[in-house]
Chains A and B, each alone.
Chain A
Amino acid sequence: MRLIERVGRWFDARVQLANTAKGVLSHPVPRQTASWFYVFGSAALIVFVLQIVTGILLALIYVPSAGEAWGTLHNLNQHVSAGWFIRALHGWGSNFMVAIVLIHMVQVFLFGAYKYPRELTWIAGVLLLLLTLGMAFTGQVLRFDQDAYWGLGIGASISSRVPFIGHAVVDLLLGGPIIAGATLSRFFAFHVFVVPGLLIAFVALHLLLVIKVGINEWPMPGRIVRRETYVAKYHELLKRDGIPYFPAAIWEDVIFAGVVLLSIAACAVVLGPFGPGGQPDPTIIQTAPKPDFFFWWLYTVLSYLPPAAETPFLLIAPAVGIAFLIALPFFAGEGEKSWKRRPIAVLVVLLVAVGWGALTSLGAHTPWSPAMDAWSGEPVPAKYLEGRTALERHGALVLQLKQCRNCHALGETGGKRGPPLDEVAVRLTQDQLIRQVVQGGGNMPAYGKNLSPAETTALVAFLETLHPAGQAPAWNASQRATLP
């Protein structure tokens, strides 16, 4: 023990950092900030450290080559001792990091911590959020499987829509004319050098500002922030009711960090690593690419936006959103901090949360994607065939063979792109059915060229039988009046 102390003193006589470190660690903080609401920033930092450590461990084995990456991931999963566990830690760590950074942001927003004089702390935080999402996307690419390959295609297609320079942006993004070796290499460089370097720099700035400007005090309704008086009042609060961060206020951070790390480890052990999915062979097209959880909302938005609104949305909405976040402390830098007196702020958070949740849950089910195998894998339920004529049964066969089921469900199975057909005869008359099949419309392709008149007749005859027992099918009133 004495030896350790002596070595420590020897080093500090030269680097002379011990006093600074002590001062930083025990800087005074308002007593009420020793709270469970103030643990998310330090937790994000701890998870970031975990990501750096597990990332370096993965880089010992992983080969960032388009021809070999997928194989080295399988090697990690199956042949390297605890390789699957390190991959799982890194994958779950990524999910936890995005989640904690978002929670941290919501807490900071609701507690008014972005207001004067912490504008720069907030802006650094916004950039840290963007960098974290950048890590999540580039990391998904390094898990070089089918989803990564086609996800890059989506990224390239989005980038190509930038006016004038879109084509050049795609070339630079992919590192060449197609998604291939150079693409993975540059995403590796981004994920391992560029973005983490920026993250470390902005984390340092963020922390420096937390120490220099001080942690946000607990917001009290009625305690108004004014540029002229705030700093003096804050220092007065520190003098009156301040406690040293270490050892008085750090214990919640330490406990929460431990809980988070254990949760990540538990997820890693129980749920295992993410993929890799199918091999990234562009000639294997039997695949339904899907992004990772945190981008499902975007997947939904891209499916539901009207085609004409898509490009403006993709190019303008992110810029507006980021500009709004960065500008926030400048147009709302004073006034009430407490969320109890900021109903619009609370509503905005609720609206964003509900919107994000709804889009994400839709992204989980992807009702807009055709079920590509439903036509051959999901038979027509037997109850819809019982007691039908030969013509109607032939219509059921046409329904299967023409892939109608890829978009239309029958008996809960099949695609959800179009409406389910179980009760279609109640909604559409015979004429309307024929028109819809032949001409399409309302997001349905026209089948006029692909069905013979006999097939159309059979198909519509079958569709007309699809109504609940005891409920009459739709009928054309004018036809009945003129053709008794």
Chain B
Amino acid sequence: MSSTERPTRRGIFITIGAILNAAATLAIGIPVLRYLFSPKIRERRPGYDSWVPLGPVSSFPTGETRFATFRNPVESPSDGETAKVSCWVRNIDGRQFQIFAINCAHLGCPVRWFPQSNLFMCPCHGGAYYADGSRASGPPERGLFEYRYKVEGDTLFIEAGEMPTPGGALATLSVRRSSCA
């Protein structure tokens, strides 16, 4: 249709129809996009993390590294046992702690603590870490992920809520380097 032609009745109705459908696309599409991206944009500031109790400090003896579990602060009804998360608690001197994520800093497999040799070993690709979480050998590019912690009264709390990954929030936390490596 050239610009000099008079708009026809049919053309006007087609235009109105197109506008209506565009409006409908926006009205439906925007909530659909919000729904799809909800894991990222849901109402959460600053993030998923919140303080989670790990138990009384007395259950983590000084100088030892113990296994601990907690329920993720963000849960949904269908989570079942997958809402549970594991971590390693190292009580350095009774006042200072290191709480390591269970996930290997390489690709997330569960690392195991061997108190006899003071090493964390990963069963997947052979990553190994020293007692302070620093990298000992294998494919990991960095040390174990560490959670922030605080002690209130007699209870040890950690700031958790998200699976630690190399690109995730915990990754930016510094990890103590081993002095002898």
Footprint of B on A, CB under 8 Å?
65-68, 149-150, 153-154, 156-162, 166-168, 170-172, 174-185, 279-283, 285-289, 299, 302-303, 305, 307-308, 310, 368-370, 372, 375, 401-404, 406-407, 417, 440, 443-450
Contact = CB atoms under 8 A, between A and B. Distances in A.
B153 interface: no
B180 to A, nearest CB: 5
A153 B103 contact: yes
23 contacts: A66-B79, A154-B124, A160-B166, A167-B169, A170-B163, A178-B74, A180-B83, A181-B79, A282-B82, A282-B85, A283-B81, A283-B84, A285-B102, A286-B112, A303-B126, A368-B125, A370-B126, A375-B116, A403-B114, A440-B137, A445-B119, A446-B180, A449-B131
B126 A417 contact: yes
A180 B39 CA distance: 12
Given A167-B167, A180-B72, A369-B124, A283 B107 contact: no
Given A285-B86, A446-B136, A171 B107 contact: no
B108 A150 contact: yes
Contacts of A281: 81-82, 84
A417 B124 CA distance: 11
B119 A403 contact: yes
A452 to B, nearest CB: 12
Contacts of B61: none
A66 B137 contact: no
Residue among B67, B80, B84, B112 with the most chain A CB within 10 A? B80
Interface string B101-134: 0110011111110101111011111101011000
Contacts of A66: 78-82
B155 interface: no
A403 B126 CA distance: 13
A180 B76 contact: yes
B80 A369 contact: no
Main DSSP-derived SS at the B contact region: loop
Given A150-B110, A177-B48, A368-B126, A67 B82 contact: yes
A152 B160 CA distance: 19
Interface in B22-78: 36-37, 39-40, 48, 67, 69, 72, 74-78
B110 A287 contact: yes
B48 A160 contact: no
Main DSSP-derived SS at the A contact region: loop
Contacts of A170: 163, 165, 167-168
A445 B166 contact: no
B39 A369 contact: no
A170 B118 CA distance: 32
Given A67-B80, A369-B125, A177 B114 contact: no
Contacts of A68: 78, 80
B143 interface: no
Contacts of A403: 114, 116-117, 119, 121
Contacts of A310: 139, 141
A182 B79 CA distance: 8
A172 B150 CA distance: 30
Contact of A154 (B37, B107, B116, B139): B107
A446 B179 CA distance: 11
B74 A401 contact: no
Contacts of A166: 165-167
Given A369-B123, A449-B118, 5 more contacts: A168-B40, A170-B163, A184-B78, A282-B86, A445-B137
A167 B164 CA distance: 10
A369 B141 contact: no
The 5 lowest CB-CB distance pairs between A and B, nearest first, are A67-B80, A181-B78, A160-B167, A166-B167, A153-B108
Given A181-B80, A372-B112, A406 B121 contact: yes
B147 to A, nearest CB: 13
B12 interface: no
A33 B166 CA distance: 52
A93 to B, nearest CB: 28
Contacts of A448: 180
Nearest to B49: A177
Nearest to A442: B137
Residue among A156, A372, A446 with the most chain B CB within 10 A? A156
A280 B123 contact: no
Contacts of A65: 78, 80
Contact of B116 (A160, A183, A279, A402): A402
B70 to A, nearest CB: 9
B109 A154 contact: yes
A65 B81 CA distance: 11
Contacts of B128: 370, 445
Given A288-B124, A372-B121, A445-B130, A303 B139 contact: yes
A306 B42 CA distance: 38
Contacts of B131: 449
B122 to A, nearest CB: 8
Contacts of B103: 153, 157
A321 B64 CA distance: 48
A448 B118 CA distance: 11
Nearest to A446: B181
A79 B96 CA distance: 52
